[in-house]
């Protein structure tokens, strides 16, 4: 509990610094209204009404990447306690972790073969 | 998880209780905000708040590994949710009142009540029957420190559950692939190479891309059409969206290209007066 | 006393001093990094770089920092104002937080108080950095989304996919270090490198970490979220004034954090480098000296960032994702299994490293031999393939000789004709005006 105190203090100060900076701009900066300034920037052309990305939707590849990310994130998170206690666990732990990695390896290979990792 | 067990209550410090009374309402606020926010992205953000509060609660409860893992994994998970929202409903997303799946309210109620019952039972059991050991100390599980104790525990006592996790993850990956992924070939999209080859076979209008607008040093507007080597306007460079510059406005540029006009001012491109590019 | 005990013993005033110092490291180094980067890239591109403000132009970014708040802040009408306001803060705060776990030095005495040069030494210090990185992405994604404009949205999405992909590679490359150090605490990891820095004990992990740290911080050649030639400014296109500055601060602080982290994990942290470590019974490894080594190593890595930006062209997005998912991740997993296996074998039975290397070498040789035996040459060329060049379209001849670049001195001061091979045509006279090839 006590060991988090510096971290908490740093967080408060960092957040205060960020808030101060974010508020500084509108406080001291000039304000000159111009309707054209408030439009989204599209290289000087009048903003086109349709969203650019496939009708406003995002390609599915991003979603797949995020899904794979979670998969490997969880794998990573399990690998840390394994790595820390690997010496105590010995061969038994090694077999376990190889099993775990290869099980996920199958999922990975499946996604790869189906083309889920290809971007175009 | 929230330590209100009788055995531990007397060891709870003031700092801990302050943290709990700050973080608890914050987590609850996030959860309620997630349900009541009109905008799906705001919902996802409220969920992040809840997850972060829970993570910090774990840290305060002497489970640093769990706390940080909560932040790492769940921020990633919510990020996925975020993308999922963007993918399904687009950028300008708001609540849809049309019910698409029939009977989903009923199913959701039943499953929700079931989940609540499960959680309540688990917590009730942990409050009454389980004696907390703590994973912080040296004596807890033979290792030194929280992480090593966790490691020993996961890879010996909870081996089966651990390996089962990998099965769950496989299901998730395969499910995402089957439900979300459409193969490029079935969608009829071609790779860059295939497109280039088609172009050169003559299956498209022209092998090269359309000429860009005539943005020269003399004109900063994309409305300027490109000029062909003989000084005439390249018709393909005219945009459908923008009104092009009138032909007579380009006379000067034409002269510059054919070489009949005087060149640009010599100082304009002198390298010694050029400033460093900003990063 | 151990590091954690020393730190727990700190009085409040010392904690406050440390907190302020750690908080200032990010912004101060950012101000320095920006001008250093501009000067260094200027030199690499044969131009002076900023040279107006202060001695040698080195006060340029201070002038910029003062200028930015006095610029008008423009929020597009299509923006989601709350999230738009929140996004730069979410980007900056975790970046500033991550430096807290970096061990900058060993035990010293500050005003008579024994302590170590580190803010906190958590048992899960490594995870703190990763957690800060994963929260920091939100700033970028939300900035892209809330701007209500197409280029930022694309930039934000790209960034999300990119950072999460490279976070996996980064996290997995750390597993090797954790395996060798048997701890997740950054202080312990540095102390575990007493007998050998991890960058040569774990070369694969080190290389993968270096690659993924560039990808993680959205820097060139992986700066796709703000690819200027494709997405204008990427996720911060619609940001101006101080909010824009915050994104800049976040980017550079992240660079500083990953460099410091690389120093801690692989380059021996605050320990003196080899020839110096022999002097006077490792005298330079005690007291305040280690700060010099720590920041020295960090600046070497930071210079690599600048160097990369000046040298390499930007990757294409599909190539970039391919490297992350199809090369770095599987290589990393194989490497982890390999070193875990080696460690387990060495722990269980008394096999020497030499034996392991011998047998491992034999196995690798056999695998290489088998791969040659099964390799039946390249795939036969497709008859239907279309020649991409030629075919009636004007292409430069293959034996084209590129004229030698003339010396710069010769170019300066007078108008010079270009070599005829290149400058043929009516525009030769006009082009000779710019006097630079």
* Domain ranges for chain A: 57-120
What is the rounded distance in angstroms from the CA atom of residue B44 to the CA atom of residue B33? 9
- B232 three-class SS: coil
Look at residue C125 and tell me whether its pLDDT is greater than 60.
Answer: yes
Q: What tokens appear for C175 in the block?
A: 């597993």
- Residue whose pair of structure tokens reads 């110092």 in the numeric block: C21
Residue of B nearest to A3 (CA): B60
Residue from the list B68, B196, B258 with its beta carbon closest to the beta carbon of C131: B68
For B279, which DSSP code? Answer: -
Place B273 in a pLDDT band, splitting at 50, 70 and 90.
Answer: very low
Contacts of A19 in chain C (CB under 8 A): 89
Asked if C145 lies within 8 A of B91 by C-beta distance, the reply is yes
> How far from C297 is each of A4, B215, C29, C263, C305, CA to CA, in Å?
28, 46, 14, 6, 13
Minimum distance, in Å, between the CA of residue A9 and any CA atom of chain B: 14
- Chain C, 253-292: which have a CB under 8 Å from a chain B CB? none
Question: Is the CB of C43 inside 8 Å of chain A's CB atoms?
Answer: no
What pLDDT, on the 0 to 100 scale, is given for residue B121? 92
Residue from the list A3, A43, A65 with its beta carbon closest to the beta carbon of C232: A43
> Which of B22, B100, A108 is CA-nearest to residue C333?
A108
Minimum distance, in Å, between the CA of residue B231 and any CA atom of chain C: 13
Minimum distance, in Å, between the CA of residue C98 and any CA atom of chain A: 9
Question: Is the CB of B91 inside 8 Å of chain C's CB atoms?
Answer: yes
Q: Find residue C110's DSSP bridge partners.
A: C113
Question: Is the CB of C76 inside 8 Å of chain A's CB atoms?
Answer: yes
Residue of B nearest to C156 (CA): B83
Share in percent of chain B as helix, strand, coil (round to 5): 60, 0, 40
> How far from A79 is each of B151, C98, C179, CA to CA, in Å?
9, 22, 9
Mean model confidence pLDDT for chain B: 73
Say which residues have a Cβ less than 8 Å from residue C67's Cβ, sequence separation at least 6.
none
Place C351 in a pLDDT band, splitting at 50, 70 and 90.
Answer: low
Look at residue C399 and tell me whether its pLDDT is greater than 70.
Answer: no
Residue of A nearest to C122 (CA): A3
Place C426 in a pLDDT band, splitting at 50, 70 and 90.
Answer: very low
Most confident of B179-188, B235-244, C308-317: C308-317
Asked if B147 lies within 8 A of A80 by C-beta distance, the reply is yes
What pLDDT, on the 0 to 100 scale, is given for residue B4? 41
Q: What is the mean pLDDT of residues C137-147?
A: 83
pLDDT in tens, B107-158: 889 999 999 999 999 989 888 877 766 666 555 556 667 777 777 888 888 8
- Write down all domains in chain B, each with its CATH number in brackets: 13-93 (1.20.120.1200), 187-211 (no CATH), 212-261 (no CATH)
Contacts of B221 in chain A (CB under 8 A): 44
Minimum distance, in Å, between the CA of residue A44 and any CA atom of chain B: 8
What pLDDT, on the 0 to 100 scale, is given for residue A53? 47
What pLDDT, on the 0 to 100 scale, is given for residue C422? 42
Mean model confidence pLDDT for chain C: 79
Residue from the list C7, C122, C241 with its beta carbon closest to the beta carbon of A29: C241
Residue of B nearest to A68 (CA): B173
Look at residue B184 and tell me whether its pLDDT is greater than 60.
Answer: no
Whole-model pTM? Answer: 0.77
Look at residue B266 and tell me whether its pLDDT is greater than 70.
Answer: no
Say which residues have a Cβ less than 8 Å from residue C223's Cβ, sequence separation at least 6.
C309, C314
Look at residue C161 and tell me whether its pLDDT is greater than 60.
Answer: yes
Q: How many Cβ contacts (< 8 angstroms) between chains A and B?
A: 164
Domain A57-120 falls under CATH 1.20.58.1610: yes
ipTM surpassing 0.95: no
Asked if B75 lies within 8 A of C127 by C-beta distance, the reply is no
pLDDT in tens, A31-79: 777 776 777 776 666 666 555 444 455 666 677 777 788 888 888 888 8
What pLDDT, on the 0 to 100 scale, is given for residue C3? 72
Q: What tokens appear for C373 in the block?
A: 């035996």
CB C146 within 8 A of CB C78: no
Residue of B nearest to C130 (CA): B72
What is the rounded distance in angstroms from the CA atom of residue B275 to the CA atom of residue B271? 9
Place A120 in a pLDDT band, splitting at 50, 70 and 90.
Answer: low
Asked if B155 lies within 8 A of A92 by C-beta distance, the reply is yes
Question: Is the CB of C352 inside 8 Å of chain B's CB atoms?
Answer: no
Residue from the list A11, A38, A58 with its beta carbon closest to the beta carbon of C157: A58
């Amino acid at each position: 509990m006590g060991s988090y105190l510096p971290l908490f203090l740093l967080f408060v100060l960092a957040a205060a610094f960020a808030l101060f900076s974010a508020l500084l701009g509108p406080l001291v900066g000039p304000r000159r209204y111009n309707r054209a300034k408030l439009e989204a920037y599209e290289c000087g052309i009048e903003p086109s009404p349709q969203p650019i990305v496939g009708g406003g939707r995002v390609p599915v590849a991003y979603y797949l990447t995020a899904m794979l990310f979670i998969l490997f994130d969880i794998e990573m998170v399990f690998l840390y306690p394994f790595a820390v206690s690997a010496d105590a666990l010995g061969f038994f732990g090694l077999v376990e972790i190889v099993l775990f990695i290869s099980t996920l390896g199958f999922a990975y290979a499946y996604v790869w073969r189906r083309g889920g990792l290809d971007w175009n | 998880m929230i330590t209100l067990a009788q055995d531990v209550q007397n060891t709870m410090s003031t700092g801990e209780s302050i943290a709990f009374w700050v973080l608890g309402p914050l987590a609850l606020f996030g959860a309620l905000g997630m349900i009541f926010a009109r905008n799906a992205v705001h919902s996802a953000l409220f969920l992040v708040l809840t997850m972060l509060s829970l993570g910090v609660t774990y840290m305060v409860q002497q489970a640093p590994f769990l706390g940080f893992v909560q932040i790492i994994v769940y921020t990633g998970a919510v990020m996925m949710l975020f993308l999922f929202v963007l993918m399904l409903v687009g950028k300008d997303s708001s609540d849809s009142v049309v019910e698409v799946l029939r009977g989903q309210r009923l199913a959701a109620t039943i499953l929700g009540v079931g989940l609540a019952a499960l959680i309540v039972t688990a917590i009730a059991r942990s409050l009454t029957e389980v004696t907390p050991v703590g994973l912080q100390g040296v004596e807890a599980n033979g290792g030194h420190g929280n992480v090593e104790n966790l490691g020993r525990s996961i890879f010996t006592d909870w081996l089966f559950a651990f390996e089962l996790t990998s099965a769950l993850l496989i299901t998730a990956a395969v499910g995402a692939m089957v439900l979300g992924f459409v193969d490029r070939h079935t969608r009829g999209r071609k790779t860059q190479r295939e497109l280039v080859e088609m172009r050169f076979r003559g299956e498209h209008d022209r092998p090269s891309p359309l000429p860009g607008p005539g943005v020269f040093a003399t004109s900063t507007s994309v409305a300027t059409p490109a000029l062909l080597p003989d000084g005439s306007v390249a018709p393909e460079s005219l945009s459908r969206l923008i009104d092009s510059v009138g032909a007579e406005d380009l006379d000067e540029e034409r002269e510059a290209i054919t070489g009949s006009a005087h060149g640009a001012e010599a100082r304009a491109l002198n390298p010694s007066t050029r400033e460093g590019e900003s990063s | 006393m151990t590091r954690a005990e020393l730190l727990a013993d700190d009085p409040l005033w010392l904690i406050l001093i440390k907190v302020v110092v750690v908080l200032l490291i990010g912004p101060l180094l950012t101000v320095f990094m920006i001008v250093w980067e501009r000067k260094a890239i200027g030199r690499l591109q044969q131009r002076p770089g900023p040279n107006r403000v202060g001695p040698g132009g080195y006060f340029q970014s201070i002038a910029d920092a003062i200028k930015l708040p006095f610029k008008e802040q423009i929020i597009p009408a299509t923006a989601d104002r709350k999230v738009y306001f929140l996004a730069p803060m979410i980007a900056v705060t975790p970046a500033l937080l991550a430096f807290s776990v970096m061990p900058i030095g060993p035990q010293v005495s500050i005003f008579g108080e024994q302590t170590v040069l580190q803010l906190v030494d958590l048992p899960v210090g490594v995870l703190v950095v990763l957690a800060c990185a994963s929260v920091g992405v939100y700033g970028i994604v939300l900035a892209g989304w809330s701007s209500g404009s197409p280029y930022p949205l694309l930039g934000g999405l790209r960034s999300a996919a990119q950072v999460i992909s490279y976070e996996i590679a980064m996290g997995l490359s750390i597993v090797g270090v954790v395996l060798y150090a048997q701890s997740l605490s950054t202080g312990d990891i540095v102390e575990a490198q007493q007998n050998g820095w991890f960058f040569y004990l774990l070369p694969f992990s080190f290389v993968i970490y270096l690659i993924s740290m560039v990808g993680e911080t959205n820097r060139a050649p992986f700066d796709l979220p703000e690819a200027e030639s494709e997405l204008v400014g990427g996720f911060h296109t619609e940001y101006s004034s101080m909010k824009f500055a915050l994104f800049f601060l976040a980017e550079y602080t992240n660079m500083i954090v990953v460099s410091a982290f690389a120093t801690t994990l692989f380059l021996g942290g605050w320990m003196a480098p080899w020839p110096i470590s022999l002097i006077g019974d490792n005298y330079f490894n005690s007291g305040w000296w280690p700060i010099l080594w720590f920041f020295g190593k960090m600046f070497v890595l930071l210079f690599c960032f600048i160097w990369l930006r000046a040298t390499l062209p930007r990757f294409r997005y599909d190539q970039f994702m391919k490297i992350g998912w199809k090369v770095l991740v599987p290589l990393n997993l194989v490497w982890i299994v390999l070193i875990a296996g080696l460690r387990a074998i060495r722990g269980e039975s008394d096999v020497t490293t030499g034996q392991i290397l011998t047998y491992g070498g034999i196995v690798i040789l056999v695998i290489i031999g088998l791969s040659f035996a099964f390799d039946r040459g390249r795939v036969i060329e497709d008859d239907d393939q279309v020649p991409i060049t030629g075919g009636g379209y004007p292409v430069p001849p293959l034996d084209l000789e590129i004229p030698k670049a003339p010396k710069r001195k010769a170019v300066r001061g007078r108008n010079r004709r270009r070599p005829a091979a290149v400058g043929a045509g009516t525009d030769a006279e006009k082009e000779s005006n710019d006097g630079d090839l």
